[in-house]
């Protein structure tokens, strides 16, 4: 299957890199959060506020399951790896890439962002604690880890494309 799944913390660049990678590989781009919002005509923030995080995680799992049925570049939400069912699906996926970003980088990117419900009204230390609790999960689900701090989105996409094509040739 022609499929790359991008994982990583909020602000890692999954959507940005995913769009570039989709163009480079001539594959559809699927952003799980965007698909949920489009299908349900409600923002992620509103889902969290009105239905709660468990309801969002259920929708996220359903969308991941659907996305994994197609050839595509798939951008996941930062919390997708929290659910064991999702981790199992990622382990079975074709090619999972963890975009590893340092706290300084993602905190800078997230500054002033009001669209991410899990970080609203949280201190810098609380956000870093969420990241640290997830790091091992991201790493264990990934077939490739790309350290993104000193790379442009274009360079990240090129690195992923090269690794993906090399692995395909070896199969």
Tell me: is residue 148 an annotated ligand-binding position. Answer: no
Tell me: is residue 92 an annotated ligand-binding position. Answer: no
Q: What CATH number labels 3-170?
A: 3.40.50.300
pLDDT of amino acid 134:
95
Domain ranges of the chain: 3-170
Tell me: is residue 102 an annotated ligand-binding position. Answer: no
Q: Which helix (H) or strand (E) holds 105?
A: helix 103-110
Tell me: is residue 87 an annotated ligand-binding position. Answer: no
Cα-based angle 113, 138, 126 (whole degrees, multiple of 5): 45
pLDDT in tens, 45-67: 899 889 998 999 999 999 999 99
- Angle between the N-to-C axes of helices 103-110 and 124-141, in degrees from 0 to 180, rounded to the nearest 10: 120
pLDDT in tens, 70-123: 999 999 999 999 999 999 999 889 899 999 999 988 888 777 666 666 667 778
CB-based burial label for 121 (10 Å; 0-12, 13-18, 19+): exposed
Tell me: is residue 116 an annotated ligand-binding position. Answer: yes
Residues above pLDDT 90, as percent of the chain: 75
Residues near 157 by beta carbon (within 8 Å), at least 6 away in sequence: 17, 20, 21, 24
């Amino acid at each position: 299957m022609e499929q790359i799944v991008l994982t990583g913390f909020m602000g890692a660049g999954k959507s940005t890199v995913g769009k570039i990678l989709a163009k480079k590989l001539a594959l559809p781009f699927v952003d799980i959060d965007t698909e949920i919002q489009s299908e349900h005509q409600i923002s992620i923030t509103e889902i969290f506020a009105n239905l709660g995080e468990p309801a969002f995680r259920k929708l996220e799992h359903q969308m991941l399951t659907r996305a994994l049925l197609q050839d595509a570049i798939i951008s996941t939400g930062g919390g997708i790896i929290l659910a064991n069912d999702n981790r199992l699906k990622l382990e079975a996926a074709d090619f999972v890439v963890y975009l590893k970003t340092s706290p300084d980088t993602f905190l800078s990117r997230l500054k002033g962002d009001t669209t991410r419900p899990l970080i609203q009204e949280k201190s810098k230390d609380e956000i870093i604690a969420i990241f640290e609790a997830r790091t091992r999960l991201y790493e264990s689900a990934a077939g490739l880890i790309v350290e993104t701090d000193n790379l442009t989105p274009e360079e990240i996409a090129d690195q992923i494309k090269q690794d993906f094509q090399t692995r395909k040739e070896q199969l």
